[in-house]
Amino acid sequence: MLDLHRIDVEQYKSVTKIPVVVVLDSVRSEMNVGSVFRTADAFLIGRICLCGITAQPPKPEIHKTALGAEDSVQWSYHATTLEAVGQLKSEGYTICAIEQVHGSISLEKFAVEDGRKYALVFGNEVKGVAQDVVDASDCCIEIPQCGTKHSLNISCSAAIVMWHFFTALQ
């Protein structure tokens, strides 16, 4: 097998992560959860907060798309997303709901500030980020889109937004 110079799980755990937490607000698909884990591993995300109905590892469907990233990326479970948001605010995180709402900031115009900690909240595949979580957020960010659809799969949205923060904070 070709050596791709990848680090193992134990080495990954000791690597410095970017100051970003991903919050999943009742994401229903275990495969989407796994995909977010895999992307979080790729972009050195600090941790993932799984909230509400979001499945938790170990689950075969999560593992199918995470390919082991559920073992490398730190995660926690919270009964409600508001509980997770409250905890993250108390830890000094800026809460950014990734949602299309009046007054949201287009991703390419969002200036990621060095030295600041961010929590990125991604919502349910059908309902999006819950309104009470949007209301509790410090800002809302949306991904600009030009086609006939006005949404992306949560795993795609998460990858785009994590990449934006990774390139700014790396």
Does residue 13 contact residue 41 with C-beta atoms inside 8 Å?
no
DSSP string covering the chain: --------HHHHHHSPPEEEEEEEES---HHHHHHHHHHHHHTTEEEEEEETT---SS-HHHHHHHTTHHHHS-EEEESSHHHHHHHHHHTTEEEEEE---TTPEEGGG--PPTT-EEEEEE-BTTTBS-HHHHHHSSEEEE----SS-----HHHHHHHHHHHHHHHH-
Q: 4-35: per-residue pLDDT in tens?
A: 788 999 999 999 999 999 999 999 999 999 99
What is the reported pTM? 0.96
Is a pLDDT exceeding 90 seen at residue 51?
A: yes
Average pLDDT over residues 100-108: 97
Is a pLDDT exceeding 50 seen at residue 64?
A: yes
Is a pLDDT exceeding 50 seen at residue 1?
A: no
Average pLDDT over residues 117-127: 98
Percentage of the chain modeled with pLDDT above 90:
95
Instruction: Work out the end-to-end distance of the chain between its first and last CA atoms, rounded to an integer number of angstroms.
Output: 30
Average pLDDT over residues 103-111: 97
Q: Could you tell me the domains of the chain?
A: 18-169 (3.40.1280.10)
Average pLDDT over residues 89-103: 97
Q: What does the pLDDT read at residue 22? A: 99
Average pLDDT over residues 137-164: 96
Q: What does the pLDDT read at residue 2? A: 60
